[in-house]
Structure 1
Amino acid sequence: MSTTPSTPLTIAYALLDPGIGVFGTKGASVHVQEVVRALRADGHHVTVFCTRTDEHVPADLADLEVRRHRLPKGKGAERERAVAEASAAIAAEIAAGGFDLIYERYSLFSDTAARLAGKIPSILEVNAPLIAEQREHRSLVDEPGALAATRAQLREATLISCVSEAVADWALSEGADPARVVVTPNGVNTTRITPRPEGAAGTAPDEQQGQEPAQSGPVTVGFVGTLKPWHGTDVLLRALARTRGDLRLDVCGTGPQQHALEQLAAELGIAARVRFRGAVAPEQVPSVLHGMDIATAPYPPGEHYFSPLKVYEYLAAGLPVVASAIGTIPGVLEHGKLGVLVEPGDVDALAEALDELAADPGHRARLSRASRQAAVTEHDWRIRCRELLARALEPVGAGAGAR
């Protein structure tokens, strides 16, 4: 395993995506915050350069230095040009700031780190093929400009950190040097997210003492994430309606589907069994996870190139997971050793898996212990960041490109 640099670094974290606030509540914002926390936990000084902040500032990041470059109001081509102009301005500011390394989250029309290639080493974090996403789900006016900036980023980054093999393959198809590409799945802050305290309601006794875990009252099934079609929350509601046991559902998060999902719950006759919390600040998520007995990631069939942050959080919380066997999830759950895998979109299979786990607290307790252990030893954000820094600062050809 790579080790962290012996000398603390001054790191410029560049986030130019106008859809992601540094202090927002959605998964991308949580991702940003956790990478920053992991870097700071090892003594590095981090300054964030961004175009959006939002207002949910966690107490432990209140002292984080954030330099915001405000974008003018506007949409389409005007917004795209504004991001490119902000990228140039931020690159100049970083160049003058004496930073040791740039950590840039890949954003359309941004080439901040690429402008400083050869002067400051950089890590480019790539979470998705954004050009295709923007074209399909939002709007993209200057696609040639977006492609040119993307290829500049991929060509010039010291290290390209891709969230999955599928994303790495996309980066290579756009010209990334294979020697500079590594696959870095998402991780979790195992200090911030912990299992439910011993003795709390629903906590299983230690089986090694010969006690059979028991639970009184309903079993709480949980979902954490943005309520959008590709998260499969509608499948989860339909599955809950077909369960036979005393199960409740706690939905943590909001999104464009929330109203439709609330209507669906009513139509299915399960509205009284479902709690829609709406948007929840990231610092409140650990306590929300403590109230769950089973956690879910019910993705529907389709392209799945990302690394679900929620699954790592579930593992850190010691929650038994029921998830779709799609994309990277089977590997994360060690093909059933850390959770139950079901066919994507199969309502009956999901309902059956929930019923079986709800009726077997002993199985849940075993999964809980194994999940927490895996999160701490394999998936902590500090492990991920140490490995990235070590590789980014290696001499050329000394070890990068390990996929």
Structure 2
Amino acid sequence: MRIAYVCADPGIPVFGTKGASVHVQEVVRVLLEAGHEIDLFCRRTGGEPWPAAAAARAAGRLTVHELGRIRGEDVADRERRAMAADGDMLRAVTAAGPFDAVYERYSLWSTAGTAYAREHGVPAVLEVNAPLPAEQARHRGLVHTVEARAVVRQAAADASAVVCVSEPVAAWVRDHLARTGPAGRPAVVVEANGVDVDRIRPAAGRPDRPFTVGFVGTLKPWHGTETLLEAHALLRRSVPAARLLLVGDGPQADALREQARALGTAGAVETTGAVAPVDVPALLHRMDVATAPYPAAGEGYFSPLKVYEYMAAGLPVVASAVGQLPGVVEHARTGLLVPGSDPAALAEALHGLATDAGLRERVGAAARAHVTSGHTWTHVVERSLAAAGLPLAAREPAGVGG
């Protein structure tokens, strides 16, 4: 099939290092490996594609259409320009067609992908990862609230299937669709994040080094990294050599470095800054335990990409028992669950793993087996397409792995 992949969100550089960027890259990778031709429509690329995707582009199997970022004098002006730019995106998709199917990542102001599908009578998958109007209002400001809600209703109603990253997101979509009338009722299914278990594998042996606790992700308040630093400091009272490896960058980076200095652990905390997806596996191999220390109060609709990557690397995971995490991590089998925002409980779980190598080995092996059995990106994309009545072509890999 020839598929239009639409990501109109200007905050997602499709070849970048953010979790959302990785999600885009993995879906595109799976579609290319299945033998499809992809036209990728976006606002930002953020750089060059990974080498095998660049080869697919050179061979004419991947075409990238970068339409440019949207500027404005203030929030309201940017929103108006983004709404108008949706027409530009639809015209770009139409001009590049015809397409056999559309895969659109829902963004705040875009209906272009599913509108093309409706107008041309082809199947469309709409992937929804968050209730974006609420996120925008909370974190960045939202003026045109009514229009933003109308966008999700229209985009979802025009899709053949809406694939949601969690049940709370699916409930939010169903609520919007209930207001469109019986005609606009596509299938709404839940499909959490996945992982490339070929790209991310367990380390070949464990080197003789200090016990290392890890975290991968953007350094933002809702990831709970300040709690992790407190827990690490507590852990060092009983495991003095314990180190902490923070993989990623973000607005909290300076505050976390200052916190480590205040806790007296700065010499035992390493921050890498932003890291390309291709470099993540080697950094996971430097960890003995990986963490997802989300706060107790926060947004519970997320699907934690980092946790699937930890599990694929054969690492025991210590995660907060919040949101969707208890459905991902089975306590005492594929990881350990602790209360969110509780550094003492997190430190206690880390201590148990630091002092029991056998437990680490058993939990890490079970975690790897769990994601391999049904949570690879191939599983995710295959089930997502099936919800829209589309097969994932069973063809020999075309050499476009991430």
Give the alignment's TM-score, normalised by structure 1: 0.89
Partner of 1:11: 3
For the Cα contact (< 8 Å) 2:302–2:324, is it kept in 1?
A: yes
- Determine whether 1:195 maps to 2:166: no
Deviations 1:112-143 (A, max 9, x none): 13322152211111111000110110021222
Q: 1:218 to 1:394 in 2, by over 3 A?
A: closer
Partner of 1:301: 296
For 1:182, the aligned partner's letter is V
- SS at 2:177 equivalent: coil
Partner of 1:250: 245
Give ranges in structure 2 of 5+ residues lacking alignment.
Answer: 179-183, 392-402
- Determine whether 1:320 maps to 2:319: no
For the Cα contact (< 8 Å) 2:332–2:363, is it kept in 1?
A: no
Partner of 2:333: 337
Give ranges in structure 1 of 5+ residues lacking alignment.
Answer: 1-8, 202-215, 396-403
- Determine whether 1:134 maps to 2:133: no
Partner of 1:34: 26
For the Cα contact (< 8 Å) 1:106–1:124, is it kept in 2?
A: yes
Alpha-carbon separation, structure 1, partners of 2:36 and 2:312: 24
Partner of 2:181: none
For the Cα contact (< 8 Å) 1:162–1:181, is it kept in 2?
A: yes
- SS at 1:307 equivalent: coil
Deviations 1:56-88 (A, max 9, x none): 532222234210111343242332233233322
- Determine whether 1:79 maps to 2:74: no
Q: Which moved more, 1:83-92 or 1:361-370?
A: 83-92
Alpha-carbon separation, structure 1, partners of 2:192 and 2:199: 19
Partner of 1:401: none
Deviations 1:200-227 (A, max 9, x none): 51xxxxxxxxxxxxxx431111000011
Percentage identity across paired residues of the two chains: 50
Alpha-carbon separation, structure 2, partners of 1:383 and 1:150: 26
- Determine whether 1:221 maps to 2:221: no
Partner of 1:184: 191
Q: CA deviation at 1:375?
A: 1.4
Alpha-carbon separation, structure 2, partners of 1:347 and 1:191: 34
Please, which of 383, 387, 397 is the counterpart of residue 387 of structure 1? Answer: 383
Deviations 1:19-57 (A, max 9, x none): 110111111111111111111121111111011111253
For 2:318, the aligned partner's letter is V
Q: CA deviation at 1:389?
A: 1.2
Alpha-carbon separation, structure 2, partners of 1:83 and 1:53: 18
Q: Which moved more, 1:310-319 or 1:35-44?
A: 35-44
- SS at 1:136 equivalent: helix
Q: Which moved more, 1:333-342 or 1:374-383?
A: 333-342
For the Cα contact (< 8 Å) 1:25–1:56, is it kept in 2?
A: no
For the Cα contact (< 8 Å) 2:160–2:186, is it kept in 1?
A: no
Q: CA deviation at 1:145?
A: 1.7
Alpha-carbon separation, structure 1, partners of 2:136 and 2:344: 34
Alpha-carbon separation, structure 1, partners of 2:332 and 2:136: 34
- SS at 1:334 equivalent: coil
Q: 1:330 to 1:178 in 2, by over 3 A?
A: farther
For 1:354, the aligned partner's letter is L
Q: CA deviation at 1:178?
A: 6.1
Corresponding pairs, count: 372
Deviations 1:87-107 (A, max 9, x none): 222223323411111111110
For 1:138, the aligned partner's letter is R
Alpha-carbon separation, structure 2, partners of 1:334 and 1:41: 31
For the Cα contact (< 8 Å) 1:56–1:281, is it kept in 2?
A: no
Partner of 1:174: 176
Alpha-carbon separation, structure 1, partners of 2:44 and 2:350: 39
Alpha-carbon separation, structure 1, partners of 2:318 and 2:48: 30
Q: 1:151 to 1:344 in 2, by over 3 A?
A: same
4+ residue segments displaced more than 3 Å: 176-179
Please, which of 49, 65, 68 is the counterpart of residue 67 of structure 1? Answer: 65
Partner of 1:99: 99
For the Cα contact (< 8 Å) 2:319–2:337, is it kept in 1?
A: yes
- SS at 2:10 equivalent: coil
For the Cα contact (< 8 Å) 1:52–1:70, is it kept in 2?
A: yes
Please, which of 148, 151, 158 is the counterpart of residue 149 of structure 1? Answer: 151
For the Cα contact (< 8 Å) 1:106–1:125, is it kept in 2?
A: yes
- Determine whether 1:290 maps to 2:285: yes
For 1:183, the aligned partner's letter is V
Partner of 2:112: 112
Partner of 1:46: 38
Alpha-carbon separation, structure 2, partners of 1:340 and 1:125: 30
RMSD, matched Cα:
1.7
For the Cα contact (< 8 Å) 1:126–1:167, is it kept in 2?
A: yes
Alpha-carbon separation, structure 2, partners of 1:101 and 1:29: 21
Partner of 1:269: 264
For 1:283, the aligned partner's letter is V
Partner of 1:213: none
Alpha-carbon separation, structure 1, partners of 2:51 and 2:139: 34
For 1:272, the aligned partner's letter is G
Partner of 1:57: 49
Q: CA deviation at 1:383?
A: 0.7
- SS at 1:92 equivalent: helix
